[in-house]
């Protein structure tokens, strides 16, 4: 029995080292080295090469090394009848909460505008907003959204959340399902998307949704590029219906150099760095699931095949 790490970025060795350090007895391979394919029972994946998982005839579990699993569902050749697991990690959630909070304050206090002004030696103090002025609406109250909501409440924001199934969090106004969406949107000044990407949520950040936000609303997408219809955002910004957007995720990553978001004065871009799995923090749950697989015990953090997250 062995585990393969399958990804296309430069982090394979980092993951391998972390796994070997924490569990020297586990046989761990990089997908880039020669490895016994028939021994592989678990694939630890992050944007692996589509089609590559079918090379493992005895694969019993596909483990995402991040919170998202959309790239696994997008791989039409990935084995269908074995469990997929995802990462649920307090550090991933707190990193996301810190990043989004930083974006919110940068917006409240015009920090992005001042950075722009600085490049042109422009001295232009602007009126600034305060915590009490804005209601934050979080789309998606999973592990990441729930912690963000709780932390923003502690800071003093009015916070509301929207989710598919009802979630109760102290001092967070909850909206649920399709019927709850209009009420949620009409009272949201800063919208944060933290939804999983599924067939139900793809393209959810579109014209129709933006039109339901109050004029001047700000949009933060830290979930997946596929949630956003780029042209619709550009249109809503041009019409001054939205005052700006902060985007950490894109349809294509890295973002194409020709994409209009790069030079848009109202769009703040970051390179999918809001919250990145920390190997030290995540490896124990991967090892636990590997050992559970070995001893026939049930796995943690299994993804629902129906819901897609
Ligand atoms: C990051 O995007 C993740 O899904 O963990």
Q: What is the pLDDT of residues 100-129, one digit of tens each?
A: 999 999 999 999 999 999 999 999 999 999
The reply to whether ligand 1 has any atom less than 6 angstroms from the CB of 68 is yes
Q: Confidence class of residue 300 from pLDDT cuts 50, 70 and 90?
A: very high
| 90-269 shares the fold of 2-89+277-295 | yes
Catalytic residue among 241, 251, 259, 272: 272
| Cβ contacts of 114 within 8 Å, gap of 6 or more | none
Find the DSSP H helices in the chain. Answer: 12-22, 70-74, 90-108, 111-119, 143-155, 177-186, 207-212, 230-238, 279-294
286-291 own/partner pairs: CB under 8 Å, 24+ apart: 286/19, 286/44, 286/63, 286/65, 287/19, 287/22, 287/23, 287/26, 289/42, 289/61, 289/63, 289/85, 290/3, 290/23, 290/26, 290/41, 290/42
Q: Confidence class of residue 168 from pLDDT cuts 50, 70 and 90?
A: very high
The reply to whether ligand 1 has any atom less than 6 angstroms from the CB of 226 is no
Catalytic residue among 7, 35, 224, 268: 224
CATH of domain 2-89+277-295: 3.40.50.720
Domain ranges of the chain: 2-89+277-295, 90-269
The reply to whether ligand 1 has any atom less than 6 angstroms from the CB of 282 is no
Cα–Cα–Cα angle for 74, 77, 82, nearest 5°?
Answer: 90
Mean pLDDT of the residues in the chain: 98
Arithmetic mean of pLDDT, 160-175: 97
CA of 223, closest atom in ligand 1: 2
Distance CA 171, CA 50 (A): 43
Q: What's domain 90-269's architecture?
A: 3-Layer(aba) Sandwich (3.40)
Q: What is the pLDDT of residues 206-248, one digit of tens each?
A: 999 999 999 999 999 999 999 999 999 999 999 999 999 999 9
CA of 277, closest atom in ligand 1: 5
Q: Ligand 1 centre and the CA of 114: distance in Å?
A: 30
Q: What share of the chain is helix, strand, coil (3-state, %, to 5)?
A: 35, 20, 45
The reply to whether ligand 1 has any atom less than 6 angstroms from the CB of 67 is yes
The reply to whether ligand 1 has any atom less than 6 angstroms from the CB of 69 is no
Q: What is the 3-state secondary structure (H, E, C) of 72-132?
A: HHHCCCCCCCCCEECCCCHHHHHHHHHHHHHHHHHHHCCHHHHHHHHHCCCCCCCCCCCHH
Q: Ligand 1 centre and the CA of 42: distance in Å?
A: 19
Arithmetic mean of pLDDT, 76-88: 97
Query: 257 burial class (0-12, 13-18, 19+ CB within 10 angstroms)?
Result: exposed
Q: How far is CA 101 from CA 167, 192, 300, in A?
A: 21, 10, 29
Q: Does residue 130 have an active-site annotation?
A: no
The reply to whether ligand 1 has any atom less than 6 angstroms from the CB of 137 is no
Q: What is the pLDDT of residues 26-63, one digit of tens each?
A: 999 999 999 999 999 999 999 999 999 999 999 999 99
Q: What is the pLDDT of residues 122-153, one digit of tens each?
A: 999 999 999 999 999 999 999 999 999 999 99
- Please give the pLDDT value at position 220: 99
CA of 275, closest atom in ligand 1: 1
CA of 92, closest atom in ligand 1: 5
CB count in 10 Å sphere of residue 54? 12
């Amino acid at each position: 029995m062995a585990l393969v790490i399958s990804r296309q970025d430069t982090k394979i060795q980092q993951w391998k080292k972390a796994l070997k350090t924490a569990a020297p007895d586990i046989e761990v391979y990089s997908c880039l080295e020669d490895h016994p394919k028939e021994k592989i029972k678990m694939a630890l994946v992050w944007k692996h090469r589509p089609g590559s998982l079918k090379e493992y005839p005895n694969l019993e579990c596909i483990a995402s090394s991040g919170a998202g699993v959309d790239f696994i569902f997008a791989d039409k050749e990935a084995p269908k009848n074995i469990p997929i697991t995802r990462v649920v990690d307090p550090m991933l959630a707190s990193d996301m909460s810190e990043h989004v909070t930083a974006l919110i304050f940068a917006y409240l206090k015009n920090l992005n505008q001042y950075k722009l002004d600085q490049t042109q030696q422009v001295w232009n103090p602007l009126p600034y907003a305060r915590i009490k002025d804005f209601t934050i609406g979080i789309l998606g109250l999973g592990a990441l959204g729930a912690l963000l909501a709780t932390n923003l409440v502690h800071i003093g924001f009015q916070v509301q959340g929207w989710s598919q199934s009802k979630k109760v969090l102290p001092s967070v106004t909850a909206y649920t399902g399709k019927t709850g969406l209009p009420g949620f949107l009409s009272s949201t000044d800063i919208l944060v998307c933290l939804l999983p990407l599924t067939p139900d949520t793809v393209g959810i950040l579109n014209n129709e949704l933006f039109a339901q936000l109050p004029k001047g609303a700000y949009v933060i997408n830290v979930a997946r590029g596929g949630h956003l219809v780029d042209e619709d955002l550009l249109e809503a910004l041009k019409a001054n219906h939205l005052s700006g957007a902060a985007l950490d995720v894109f349809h294509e990553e890295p973002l194409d150099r020709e994409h209009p978001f790069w030079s848009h004065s109202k769009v703040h871009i970051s390179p999918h760095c809001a919250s990145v799995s920390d190997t030290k923090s995540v490896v124990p749950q991967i090892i636990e699931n590997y050992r559970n697989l070995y001893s026939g015990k049930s796995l943690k953090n299994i993804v629902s095949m129906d819901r897609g997250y």
